[in-house]
Structure 1
Amino acid sequence: MPSPTIILVHGAFADAASWAPVTRELLDRGHTVIVPPVYNRSLADDAASIRAVAEAVDGPVVLAGHSYGGAVVTVAGAAENVVGLVFVAGYVLEEGESLGQLQGGFPDSDLAANLVYTPYPIAGVDDGTDVSVKIDAFPPVFAEGVDPGTAAVLAVSQRPLSGAAFGEPASVAAWKTTPGWGIVSADDHTINPDVERFGYERAGLRGVVELPAPHLVMHTHPADVADVIETAVRETAGERD
């Protein structure tokens, strides 16, 4: 069985560039990597999009999701050829649970007071609501520890998340049948780290690493993140022979 292809799934308020340091690290280590866009319109649609990317791979896949991307891979990971899940400062939902329900059980992070709500048109129905981070708050809340020049670029190039996605329940929890690993960002100001710890423990992940890192741990600790993903690749290789 070939070594799994790694698919890196970004979260809200970000795009594939949020994974760039880890992408470079994994490519340098000889892995096959795909970093597709997540459209951040709805959990079901985003998961279906990522699942389609995974199913187009001829061979096994490890999905790694950051932040909201964790919720996406929770659902998309039900694809038959997905052999491992990695949650990076991510949400791990139970079947039937929404982001809002999971977050609601814990004190708010600094993110809650620094969100911007902007209407966007949807053909034939009422406008939707895009949620983004205040540009001046983005560096300390979302990108603390990241090079200031890079953080400034990321702040003005956010991919907002549709507000509807916060209340949408997960249709499936792939971690129930697929092994998973997790990274807790202990200095996270975007997601309360206890939300990460709770989700990982509930899912019974095979391995959890806690790093003294901010939300964009992929920028501040790329080698550590790559190590966890590589562990998932190594431990799942051949498990579905």
Structure 2
Amino acid sequence: MEIVLVHGAGGRPTTWSAVAPLLAAQGHHVITVTNPMTSLDDDVANTLAAVEATSGPVLLAGHSYGGAVITNAGRHPRVRALVYIAAFAPEEGETVNGIVERYEPAEISRHMRRGANGDWKSEPGPDFWAEIGWDLSPEQRSIVEAEGRAAEDLIFKQATGAPAWRTLPSWYLLAEQDRTLRPEIQADMAHRMGATLERVPGSHYTTLVHPDRVAAIITAAVSAVAP
């Protein structure tokens, strides 16, 4: 089974840099997608192109906003399972903004800045790291700052189609001290889709802080659905 990994709104190549080698060492073929973040539809299309480039059954894993992408791309007939890592799992007709607006604002809202063209980008600094990513090393923080990309407003405002989690088995790894996507939002979404739920301590940077746990839940999903 081929594993396609989808990043969140930060769009950083290093999102999966600690996880992909662990999966590859177990013999899995891993594809890491870099989406344009111009709209949800564009990111789904780009992810589907990666799925189309494979030749067999596929597992999709998404971090953060990447969960909204795999919720839609998972309708591809060769996708067998979905894994959400501190990620959005919208229902049909929902948007990322619509989900977060039902809850109290997360701490990340104090660190988001809107560009002249309506795009969004986080603004790392000492206060940001103390509040949002306290569990990253200084080296990891430097990489995240250097690779940060802006995200167009449409990734947050375009509605999801029929969610693939309605028909596919799903797994969810919840970050218990997440100050970007509130843990209660994660728990509510995981419960709603009937996902196999696991929890880890720490911030929203789950793929960098707990790569072993991320790889383990992906491997468990592969084992559960592999022919």
TM-score scaled by length of structure 2: 0.95
Note if contact 1:142-1:189 (Cα within 8 Å) is conserved in structure 2.
yes
Q: Map Cα deviations across residues 196-216 of structure 1 (whole Å, 9 max, x no partner).
A: 1111111111x1101112111
Aligned structure 1 segments of 4 or more residues deviating by more than 2 angstroms: 137-144
Deviation, 1:129, is: 1.7
Could you tell me which runs of 5 or more consecutive residues in structure 1 were left unpaired when the two chains were aligned: 120-127
Sort the Cα spacing of 1:50 and 1:140 in 2 relative to 1 into closer, same or farther, 3 A. farther
Deviation, 1:152, is: 2.0
Alignment of 1:48-197 (within 5 A): 48-119=45-116, 128-136=117-125, 137-197=127-187
Distance 2:209 2:198 in 1: 15
Deviation, 1:151, is: 0.8
1:214 paired with 2:203, answer yes
Sort the Cα spacing of 1:142 and 1:155 in 2 relative to 1 into closer, same or farther, 3 A. farther
Which residue, out of 41, 65, 84, partners 2:38? 41
Sort the Cα spacing of 1:20 and 1:83 in 2 relative to 1 into closer, same or farther, 3 A. same
**Greater mean alpha carbon deviation, residues 15-24 or residues 151-160:** 151-160
SS in 1 for 2:174: strand
SS in 1 for 2:42: helix
Sort the Cα spacing of 1:43 and 1:114 in 2 relative to 1 into closer, same or farther, 3 A. same
Root mean square deviation of aligned Cα = 1.2
Deviation, 1:135, is: 2.2
1:231 paired with 2:213, answer no
Note if contact 2:13-2:147 (Cα within 8 Å) is conserved in structure 1.
no
Q: Map Cα deviations across residues 129-164 of structure 1 (whole Å, 9 max, x no partner).
A: 210111215433543311112212212321221112
| AA in 1 matched with 2:194 | G
| AA in 1 matched with 2:18 | P
Could you tell me which runs of 5 or more consecutive residues in structure 2 were left unpaired when the two chains were aligned: none
SS in 2 for 1:150: helix
Sort the Cα spacing of 1:142 and 1:82 in 2 relative to 1 into closer, same or farther, 3 A. farther
Distance 1:8 1:141 in 2: 27
Distance 2:130 2:57 in 1: 38
Count of paired positions: 226
Distance 1:81 1:88 in 2: 21
Sort the Cα spacing of 1:37 and 1:167 in 2 relative to 1 into closer, same or farther, 3 A. same
SS in 2 for 1:129: coil
Which residue, out of 176, 186, 202, partners 2:192? 202
Percent identity, please.
31
Which residue, out of 10, 13, 18, partners 1:13? 10
Distance 1:45 1:172 in 2: 17
Deviation, 1:220, is: 1.1
Distance 1:208 1:174 in 2: 17
Distance 2:68 2:132 in 1: 18
